[in-house]
Amino acid sequence: MTGIDVDYVGRALLRREDRRLLTGAGQFVADLELSRMLHVAFVRSPLAHGRIRTVDLRAAAAAPGVVLALNGADLLRLVPPAPDAQLSLPSKWTAAVQHDFLNPQQPLLAHDKVRFVGEPLAVIVADSRYAAEDAAELANVELDPLPAVVDAAGALAAGAPILHEHFGTNRIGHFTITKGDVAASLAAAPHRLRRRFVHHRYAAMPMECRGVVAAYDARSDAMTIWSATQVVHWLRREAAHVLQMPEARVRCIALDVGGGFGVKGHVYPEDLLIPFLARRLGRPVRWIEDRHEHLLCSAHSRDQVHDVEIGFDDDGHILALDDAFTADSGAWNTLGAGIAYNTAVHLPGPYKIANYSSSATIAVTNKVPNSAYRGAGRPEAAFVMERLVDLVAAELKLEPAEIRRRNMIRADEMPYHAGLLYRDGEPIVYDSGDYPEALEKALDAVGGLVAFRRHQAEERQRGRYVGLGIGCYVEGTGVGPFEGATVRLDPGGKIYVASGACPQGQGMETVFAQIVADQWRVSPDDVVLALADTAAIAMGFGTIASRSTVTLSAAIHHASGKLRDKVFAVAANMLECAPADLELRDSSVGIVGVPGAAVSLAKIAAAARPGWDHSRPSGVDAGLEETHYWEPPTVTWSYAVHVAIVDVDPDLGRVSVARYAVAHDCGTVVNPLLLDGQIAGGTAQGLGGVLLEELVYDESGQLLTGSLMDYLVPTASDVPEIAMIHLAAPSPLNPLGVKGVGEGGAVAPPAAIANAVGDALAPFGIEINRTPIRPEELVAAIRAARSR
Amino acid sequence: MKPAKFDYHAPASVEEALALLRRYDGEARLLAGGQSLVPMMNFRLVAPAALIDLNRVAGLDYVVADGATVRIGAMTRQRAIEFSPLIAARLPLLRDAVRRIGHLPTRSRGTIGGSLAHADPAAEIPMVLRALDGQVVARGPAGERRIAAADLFVSPLTTALASDEILTEIRLPAMPDNAAHAIEEFARRQGDFALAAIAVTVAPAAGGRHTVRLATGGVGPVPQRLVGAEAILEQQGFGADTIEAAAARAAELVEPLGDPHASADFRRHLTAVLTRRAVTAASRALA
């Protein structure tokens, strides 16, 4: 055996991409330099809601360095409207789920009304960004102000100003899912609780903002678009539509991308407008979003209000749960039912709840459009469910962990049929795992519950308030409809793999090299990857929704299987044996049990080439390349339990996270090092969301947190050490047994921290039912409790 | 987020810089560390006709003892103050305050004079200048003048410095060896501007009494001395009830503004809590 004949999957290999990224050799869209390139700045709406009277660009167009200035009305005459950007839902879903949706589509530039502060009204193209911004200040914008709606309740109130007047309503989406008999079981329940839960608006805030560069080649009538996106093939499809070009003449590439987390997971107006400008002007055009623009016009997320009633028995068994919620979509609904539906089906979490109903209402408001951000509707769900469990515990004076134990689905109940439909239209079946074990391990990792309760009692004697909080979730990952892989044996014997998956820093080049290395018994160094480039593979879906490791590993597996059959056929011909006698070993194909009887992959590649003197057997055509588009049967279910111990300063309202543990299961672990990074990063974002980050609007729809001085992203010194426990119940739904892990870290922290703070402040009877946890509100609640 | 067009000058002397200020007649801005001014220019909140860069002006970077006074050149980096043995020995309050400013990169560029001239009401250095009753030296066309801490800060981001003047030096009275001090701040994240901050010094005085100085940050338009609260402590000492009374008085004396991060009421509450904690810590350090 040689060193190569060992599994690479499961090993903590260092990231291949880090050499270039850490030495400054990475290339992001803002690093792209093209000859004669022009620069874009936007004229943006200063008002949240208004009718456009004039966007006069005469002075701007005459400013030094300006090449083109267009307003929304100009553009409407030049470009067909953008196609429906909604994620399509399968007919299995639309037939089964009671729903009602309107789909307002954001134009490339506003032309009739403005609907949020920052919405682009006009585009200026100039020799430099400086000149473009100077000219943008010269635009003469006259708007007739309209009253703004800044939350879902306001949007749905009678007489509310209507954003999209042709609909006659701000209620642009509604659906209900249900199982069992909620009304009857609630009525019969020995105990009932009713609460409102609010999960506020925050956003992904990647280190790199968005950016688009486009170049048109007149000779071949072809467009190249470089965008900091998670979905190159989706972008190409929409760009081809807007430009009225065949997809084959549009190439979309994502270079190194500095974080996505969902905010780059759909197509934005700029992705389409910049290529249009490049073709119209015959010069490359570049728009790099700055941080202020990012806060003002890249998607925000969360922002839901739930009204829930839960029924339970004397032992804390949950009998029924009735949830009704509103989701504030902002001015345009980028993902249709996607996020709210995620919330609804993930809300029951790891618990057996026989009677469940969730009814969602999506409202448009005069705020930035809402889209997916790490978790995509699941942090809201986990917050509601996990707070409810703690409230049940408080009501029955039982330990919150005990309520969880009594309601959790056990390992021997797997696979568990949840009785709901996933958004892929398939019945939800939790496929594998041991939820109670995760709970116990996470509790052990913070020192155990018994020890903590003793410590807590001692601290309370000293006037100090510490609390322990649990946050559990389950998460459907690896959603379809598909991802594809082209696998090719390169003439030099290396394995080339192309896919539409789009890395944004996760380390895909490393994990897929490990996966391919095992498939082909080669070194990861002999794996050549082509990702995030539409020229490399005809169809792709992209990297969103904790899906790439699941879907692309399966596509690689199946494409490799097809290719291996062909490789073995050629090798068998060369070695004069039967294909069934062959195995892959050490970058070659050899006869099983016969050391030395082998032929290298490079020689097989040469033998399979078209032309004279090939060594293919008859009936085997030339070339060694196979493509497989894998369509997962449905999602596979990851889960985790987060446990936080916090210390609350009752005078300052400061919440310090003293200990934090995550026990999770994402199936087969491809690379433990990268896995730890995914969980730590997600957890940091979740902690930021519950404790620091908040997009605050005033009543007129002005964003008050428009810079990173006011929008508080956690820094390294704000994030605690995170203890991690890895469980690994392989998924039965894909060849490698993997489950997605990209988003999970961000799902549970709001629930775990809210429960921990509530536990700390239990002597005051304070419930934390809304995020973020603001020091000021904690202090006010404590003072009010003290004065009672 | 690109600044509007501006001229750039890098004079080598204060005289040259003053001449440039005169030439632009109020339309130029002085560039020190740039940690506040440059972001404001990028947001186009300010659009000066020219930047006059003081980073190449000789002789503005020093920390020297001058009898009972410590003189600090306006262009002395915050990071240099943080590690100055002289500051540690004579002005430990300033050393502790500077450690709380921003982050390593911002302290490496940011200067003491820049922070004072920028006059952010939540900044640490203005609070310390006020607590220690320091003064600054300004040079203008008519020569040099001194401005006391009490007179320097006019309103948020506005000082008594004229548009043709340059702040060249900070003068702080050395703290007595037997003095104690404390700083308490509340910020949402480490390194952020404080939502509320209190600096206190306590120095033994004749007759077993103490001289107390309390100054604020972040709870009013300018850093403020809490003379009424100081008086309670100077007259009644540092018993828990007295400290509580001084803290309550402190909260009455401030006039905070609200913003998305903290309402005026909460800042008032924080003033009391931080005053109590700071005074308690300083009085214990004294003992």
Q: Tell me if B213 is assigned to some domain.
A: yes
**Sequence-distant contacts of A425-430: CB under 8 A, at least 24 apart:** A425/A89, A425/A90, A425/A91, A425/A92, A425/A93, A425/A96, A426/A92, A426/A633, A426/A634, A426/A635, A427/A634, A428/A345, A428/A476, A428/A634, A429/A634, A430/A350, A430/A474, A430/A637, A430/A639
**What pLDDT sits at residue B189?**
93
- The encoded tokens of residue A348 equal 């029951």
- The encoded tokens of residue A201 equal 């608006």
- Closest partner residue to B2 (CB to CB) among A130, A704, A705 is A130
- Name beta bridge partners: A726: A664
Nearest to A199 by CA among A340, A350, A393, A49: A340
Q: Tell me if B58 is assigned to some domain.
A: no
Q: Would you call B43 and A292 a contact, using CB atoms and an 8 Å cutoff? A: yes
Give me the mean pLDDT over the A375-404 stretch.
Answer: 98
Nearest to A676 by CA among A645, A722, A712: A722
A114 pLDDT higher than 70? yes
Residue in chain A lying closest to B189 (CA): A718
Q: Are residues A525 and A416 in the same domain?
A: no
Q: Tell me if B100 is assigned to some domain.
A: yes
B99 touches chain A (CB under 8 A): no
Written as one string, the DSSP assignment of A409-435 is PPGGG-SEEEEEE-TTSSEEEE-S--H
- The band of A83, judged by pLDDT with boundaries at 50, 70 and 90, is low
- The band of A3, judged by pLDDT with boundaries at 50, 70 and 90, is very low
A137 touches chain B (CB under 8 A): yes
Q: Tell me if A611 is assigned to some domain.
A: yes
- Torsions phi, psi of A219, nearest 5? -60, -50
Instruction: Output the domain CATH number for residue B252.
Output: 3.30.390.50
Q: Which amino acid belongs to residue A57?
A: L
Instruction: Output the domain CATH number for residue A722.
Output: 3.30.365.10
Rounded to a whole number, what is the distance in Å from the CA of B189 to chain A's nearest CA? 7
User: Per DSSP, which regions of A289-338 are E strands?
Assistant: 301-312, 318-328
Residues 6+ apart with CB under 8 A from A358: A176, A177, A178, A323, A324, A325, A343, A344, A345, A347
Q: Are residues B145 and B220 in the same domain?
A: no
Q: Are residues A612 and A534 in the same domain?
A: yes
- Closest partner residue to A704 (CB to CB) among B188, B260, B270 is B260
Overall number of domains in chain B: 3
B270 neighbourhood in chain A, CB within 8 Å:
652
Q: Tell me if B1 is assigned to some domain.
A: no
Q: Are residues B41 and B73 in the same domain?
A: no
Q: Which amino acid belongs to residue A357?
A: S
**What pLDDT sits at residue A103?**
86
A292 touches chain B (CB under 8 A): yes
Q: Are residues A704 and A717 in the same domain?
A: yes
**What pLDDT sits at residue A82?**
64
- Closest partner residue to B2 (CB to CB) among A129, A291, A717 is A129
User: Domain of A732?
Assistant: 301-479+635-787
Rounded to a whole number, what is the distance in Å from the CA of A654 to chain B's nearest CA? 8
Nearest to A212 by CA among A196, A226, A224: A226
Final residue in a domain of this structure, among B172, B205, B222:
B172
Q: Would you call A779 and B262 a contact, using CB atoms and an 8 Å cutoff? A: no
Q: Are residues A678 and A783 in the same domain?
A: yes
**What pLDDT sits at residue A2?**
41
Q: Are residues B199 and B279 in the same domain?
A: yes
B269 neighbourhood in chain A, CB within 8 Å:
779
Q: Tell me if B245 is assigned to some domain.
A: yes
Q: Would you call B1 and A291 a contact, using CB atoms and an 8 Å cutoff? A: yes
For B28-78, the pLDDT digits (tens) are 999 999 999 999 999 999 999 999 999 999 999 999 999 999 999 999 999
Q: Are residues B205 and B247 in the same domain?
A: yes
Q: Are residues A305 and A450 in the same domain?
A: yes
Q: Are residues A561 and A498 in the same domain?
A: yes
B191 neighbourhood in chain A, CB within 8 Å:
715, 717
Hey, which residues 175-194 in chain B have their CB within 8 Å of chain A? 186, 188-193
Q: Tell me if A390 is assigned to some domain.
A: yes
Give me the mean pLDDT over the A469-491 stretch.
Answer: 97
Q: Are residues A324 and A368 in the same domain?
A: yes
Instruction: Output the domain CATH number for residue B23.
Output: 3.30.43.10
Rounded to a whole number, what is the distance in Å from the CA of A119 to chain B's nearest CA? 16
Rounded to a whole number, what is the distance in Å from the CA of A202 to chain B's nearest CA? 14
**What pLDDT sits at residue A84?**
57
Q: Are residues A615 and A673 in the same domain?
A: no
- Torsions phi, psi of A628, nearest 5? -135, 130
- The encoded tokens of residue A744 equal 């999970």
Residue in chain A lying closest to B262 (CA): A776
Q: Are residues B196 and B267 in the same domain?
A: yes
- Residues A204, A262 contacting (CB under 8 angstroms): yes
Q: Are residues A490 and A400 in the same domain?
A: no
- Name beta bridge partners: B145: B138
Alpha carbons A298 and A287: distance in angstroms, whole number = 14
Q: What SS3 state is found at A165?
A: helix
For A619-640, the pLDDT digits (tens) are 999 999 999 999 999 999 999 9
Q: Tell me if A150 is assigned to some domain.
A: no
Residues 6+ apart with CB under 8 A from A359: A174, A175, A176, A323, A324, A325
Q: Tell me if A67 is assigned to some domain.
A: no
**What pLDDT sits at residue A726?**
95
- The band of A86, judged by pLDDT with boundaries at 50, 70 and 90, is low
Q: How many CB pairs under 8 A join A and B?
A: 57
Give me the mean pLDDT over the A114-134 stretch.
Answer: 98
Q: Tell me if A47 is assigned to some domain.
A: no
Nearest to A277 by CA among A73, A83, A37: A37
Residues 6+ apart with CB under 8 A from A783: none
Rounded to a whole number, what is the distance in Å from the CA of A289 to chain B's nearest CA? 9
Final residue in a domain of this structure, among B128, B145, B172:
B172
Alpha carbons B174 and B139: distance in angstroms, whole number = 23
Q: Are residues B89 and B15 in the same domain?
A: no
Q: Tell me if A266 is assigned to some domain.
A: no
For B112-164, the pLDDT digits (tens) are 999 999 999 999 999 999 999 999 999 999 999 999 999 999 999 999 999 99
B39 neighbourhood in chain A, CB within 8 Å:
707
Rounded to a whole number, what is the distance in Å from the CA of A134 to chain B's nearest CA? 7
A1 pLDDT higher than 50? no
For A155-211, the pLDDT digits (tens) are 999 999 999 999 999 999 999 999 999 999 999 999 999 999 999 999 999 999 999
Instruction: Output the domain CATH number for residue B134.
Output: 3.30.465.10
ipTM here: 0.95
Q: Tell me if B57 is assigned to some domain.
A: no
Q: Are residues B189 and B256 in the same domain?
A: yes
A656 touches chain B (CB under 8 A): no
Overall number of domains in chain A: 2
Q: Are residues A562 and A645 in the same domain?
A: no
A776 neighbourhood in chain B, CB within 8 Å:
262-263, 266
Q: Tell me if A655 is assigned to some domain.
A: yes
Q: Tell me if B2 is assigned to some domain.
A: no
Cα angle for residues A570, A573, A575 (degrees, 5° grid) = 110
Q: Are residues A765 and A666 in the same domain?
A: yes
User: Domain of B125?
Assistant: 63-172
Alpha carbons B30 and B114: distance in angstroms, whole number = 9
Alpha carbons B221 and B254: distance in angstroms, whole number = 10
Final residue in a domain of this structure, among A602, A630, A658:
A630
Q: Are residues A618 and A682 in the same domain?
A: no
Residue in chain A lying closest to B273 (CA): A651
A595, burial (CB in 10 Å: exposed 0-12, middle 13-18, buried 19+): exposed
- Torsions phi, psi of A134, nearest 5? -60, -45
Q: Are residues B281 and B257 in the same domain?
A: yes
Alpha carbons A447 and B38: distance in angstroms, whole number = 48
Final residue in a domain of this structure, among B131, B148, B172:
B172
Nearest to A756 by CA among A653, A683, A656, A679: A656
Residue in chain A lying closest to B259 (CA): A704
Q: Would you call B260 and A696 a contact, using CB atoms and an 8 Å cutoff? A: yes
Give me the mean pLDDT over the A637-646 stretch.
Answer: 98
A127 touches chain B (CB under 8 A): no
**What pLDDT sits at residue A5?**
53
Rounded to a whole number, what is the distance in Å from the CA of A659 to chain B's nearest CA? 18
Nearest to A255 by CA among A235, A237, A231, A229: A229
Q: Tell me if A744 is assigned to some domain.
A: yes
Q: Are residues B281 and B189 in the same domain?
A: yes
Alpha carbons A525 and A3: distance in angstroms, whole number = 13
Q: Which amino acid belongs to residue B39?
A: P
